[in-house]
A and B are shown apart, each in its own frame.
Chain A
Amino acid sequence: MFGLLPGLLAAGLPGFLPALLLFNAEPLAHLHTLDVVVICLYFAMVLWIGFYLKGRSNTGEEFFMAGREMTAWIAGLSFVSANLGSLELMGWAGSAYQYGILATHWYWIGAIPAMLFLGLMMMPFYYVSKTHSVPGYLNLRYGGHARSVAAIAFALEMILMSGVNMFAMAVVMKVVLGWDLNFSIIVSSVAVAVYVGLGGLRSAIFNEVLQFVLIWGGALLVPILGLIQAGGWTGLKAKILTNLGSDSYFHLWRDTGSFSANPMGVHWTGIVFGLGFVISFGYWTTDFLVVQRVLAAHNLRAARMAPIIGSFFKMATPFIVILPGLLGLVLLQNPDGSRRQLVGEDVVAACSASSGRIVNAQACSAAMAKTNLSPAYQQKVLSGAPGAELHTYNQALPLMMVRYMGPGLLGLGITALIAGFMSGMAGNVSAFSTVWTYDIYRPLIHKNGTDSHYVLVGRLSIIIGVLISIGAAYLVQQFHGIMDYVQALFSIFVAPLLAAILFGMFWKRATRLSGFLGLLSGIIFSAGLFIWVKMNPANLKYVALSPAAKPMAENVFRAGWAFLFSAAVIVLVSLMTKPRPVAELDGLVYGATKLPTEEPAPWYKREWIWATVAVVIFAVLNILFW
């Protein structure tokens, strides 16, 4: 988890997590013995895979790049799985509950164009250059200084992100199952350390494909059963219209002409340019966490096909994420049979309880008054009546699971959540290990080691990385505000990196110094904007060009400004410095590279065909849900 995703970033997740711990409620679910068996079998399988692959991860190429022998399907599924974390599943189901299918933008326009662009336009340069990482590409294109800046920022981001993932998983398991936080953190981190430490990237990729299947196998039942109960799509629409009196929940674009016309408060320009270009392209084409999976493909055609294959699954993901949120709007019920209304984290935090009593009844009452909760239900919450609990938007998916899944199936659903968290953590630590070993340790600390020495360093860095992540998880537990800063790392870093990579790949004139200065100054500029708004939130109106802007707009606009700033620096410095000879840019830059001739393939194996199919489906979906 996901490293953190553009979507999570924009939605302000996982800032919701600490609030979940405040409301002293019963766990959402109780596991049957069969559920525990299902979960244990999953852990046994991931460890088996790790031990099995240990013997096939002896060289640097095997350990860090999975031997570059993954098929397009495996690389493609791993590519989307590394991004399909449980925070994303829960967070976007919650967003769909709040905002309707507008949340789908983060799966479609916020991913598909960038994934196709990566496959068709960028993979040839990543792949032909034989780089082992994105900072490695920067080294080839701009030199060691640009590589070091990118590598250090990325390694820091990955390891902290892994800690946030651990903490997030522990909180979700605590809320859903009542599990102890320490138990969840230790078990998940030991499992990840063992299977990635033993089998390297190959093990991480294998497990991500397994986790992808389990996530679908565990989560797919919710929309299927929900649609049966709601009377199909037509019935769901009718029920939402009856209960909420608005059909905005079913339109992707129709109501985005003004900020106030849609439940999310967004404008189409922000969705297209901010989300669809800067954040989406920044994440999907330059974040090494996802790009690493594609670099492990066995040939150029497979590397180009992998993101295209991934785009089809990405387009389908709203079925298991967005639909459960919409179904939750009309199907979730309180114990007395009335419609259950989920609330924001601020309300849950205001109504925190101790020994069954609300700590601050006045604050709780004021917070609930701003919601649509009925006065009678508010009174029940204040009096601590049995069953009168508050649940947040982000609990929509687990609540729907508990609604339909009995023994065994619930274990499968919980396994899907655990698998999502672990794939995110494994992605973080495997990417960290590669960048640390190849882009920090080898060039800056120990230049002339043997291949086996670097493999050892890679294995150790996974163990040390997991230990630091555990430390970060406990730090986040103590100081919740750290989450905001960890999230900010992504937004600060992504836009300047995108500018450096795009100009480096598609503009022969970009010089070594311009890449380094554009990247460094862009990061400083973006961090400066972040601190400026943090010190005085009123400054947000300057960054987002509107006094009505919300945090989502801040992230999008900050990324946009940082991209423009970095681009301007790269162009200006390039024009003032001497360009590299074109011959040196072979394999790195569009127009200076002779791409290897690909073996002839039947039409159904050609990337352009499938990219066209993806574009058509993407367009049809957007028109269908306009």
Chain B
Amino acid sequence: MHGSGISIWFFIGVLLTVYGVLIFGYGVVEWVTGISPGVQLAYLHTPVWWGGLLGALGLFYVVKFRPGRSK
């Protein structure tokens, strides 16, 4: 978006980062403790890598579009 103010990409980055941390964290706990999530392909540990991807993408947006950063 043009003009001053917080970019929408920053908001998206914040939400994806929080989601990434929560899902990745839960995935790690699941993996370490051996809790079964009761879904197919559980051996792929999807929450770990998907949560990691969301978190990384979110962090990228947070940093790149943080308020006050010169463009």
Residues of B within 8 Å of A192, CB to CB, are: none
Pair B6/A52 contact, Cβ less than 8 Å? yes
**C-beta contact mask, B1-14 vs A, less than 8 Å → 1, else 0?**
11101101001101
Residues of A within 8 A of B11 (CB): 45, 48-49, 206, 210
For window 15-57 of chain B, which residues contact chain A by CB distance below 8 Å?
15-16, 18-19, 22-23, 26-27, 30, 37-42, 44, 46-47, 50-51, 54
- Residues A408 and B3 in contact, CB atoms below 8 Å apart: no
Q: Say which residue of B8, B15, B47 sits within 8 Å of A408 (CB atoms).
A: B47
Question: In the complex the two chains form, is B8's CB within 8 Å of A41's CB?
Answer: no
Please report which residues of chain A, range 191-238, place their CB below 8 angstroms from some CB of chain B when the two chains form the complex. Answer: 206, 209-210, 213-214, 217, 221, 225, 228-229
Q: For residues 147 through 197 of chain A, which have their beta carbon under 8 Å from a beta carbon of chain B?
A: none
**Contact A407 B37, CB 8 Å, known A206-B11, A221-B46, A225-B44:** yes
Q: Does any Cβ of B come within 8 Å of A298's Cβ?
A: yes
Residues of A within 8 A of B42 (CB): 406
Within 8 A of B (CB), among A43-95: 45, 48-49, 52, 56, 67, 69-71, 74
A438 adjacent to chain B (CB < 8 Å): no
Which residues of chain B are within 8 angstroms of A339 by Cβ–Cβ distance? none
Whether the Cβ atoms of A209 and B12 lie closer than 8 Å is: yes
Residues of A contacting B15 in the complex (Cβ-Cβ under 8 angstroms): 41-42, 45, 210, 214
- On chain B, the residues within 8 Å of A71 by CB distance are 1-2
Complex CA–CA separation, A209 to B10 (angstroms): 12
| Chain B contact surface mostly | helix
Least CB distance, B64 to chain A, in whole angstroms: 14
Residues of B near A8 (CB, < 8 A) are none
Complex partner residue of B14 from A45, A56, A408, CB under 8 angstroms = A45
Q: Do A213 and B1 touch across chains, with their CB atoms under 8 A apart?
A: no
User: Is there an interface contact between A404 and B40, defined as CB atoms closer than 8 Å?
Assistant: yes
User: Are B26 and A69 within 8 A (Cβ)?
Assistant: no
Please name all residues of chain A whose beta carbon is closer than 8 Å to the beta carbon of B8 when the two chains form the complex.
49, 74, 206, 209-210
Complex-state Cα separation, A407 to B27, whole angstroms:
9
Given contacts A67-B3, A407-B26, contact A229 B37 (CB under 8 A): no
A105 to chain B, nearest CB (A): 30
Q: Is there contact, CB below 8 Å, between A217 and B54?
A: yes
Tell yes or no: A442 within 8 A of B by CB: no
Q: Does A418 contact B (CB under 8 A)?
A: no
A408 and B38: CB pair below 8 A? no
Known contacts A210-B8, A406-B47, A409-B47, A217 near B40 by CB under 8 Å:
no
List, sorted by A's number, 23 A–B pairs whose CB atoms are closer than 8 Å: A34-B22, A41-B18, A42-B15, A45-B11, A45-B14, A49-B11, A67-B3, A69-B1, A69-B3, A70-B1, A71-B2, A74-B1, A209-B12, A210-B11, A210-B15, A213-B16, A221-B46, A402-B39, A405-B46, A406-B39, A407-B26, A407-B47, A409-B46
- Listed from nearest, the 4 A-B pairs whose CB atoms lie closest are A406-B37, A408-B23, A69-B2, A206-B8
Q: Which residues of A contact B (CB under 8 A)?
A: 34, 37-38, 41-42, 45, 48-49, 52, 56, 67, 69-71, 74, 206, 209-210, 213-214, 217, 221, 225, 228-229, 298, 402-409, 412
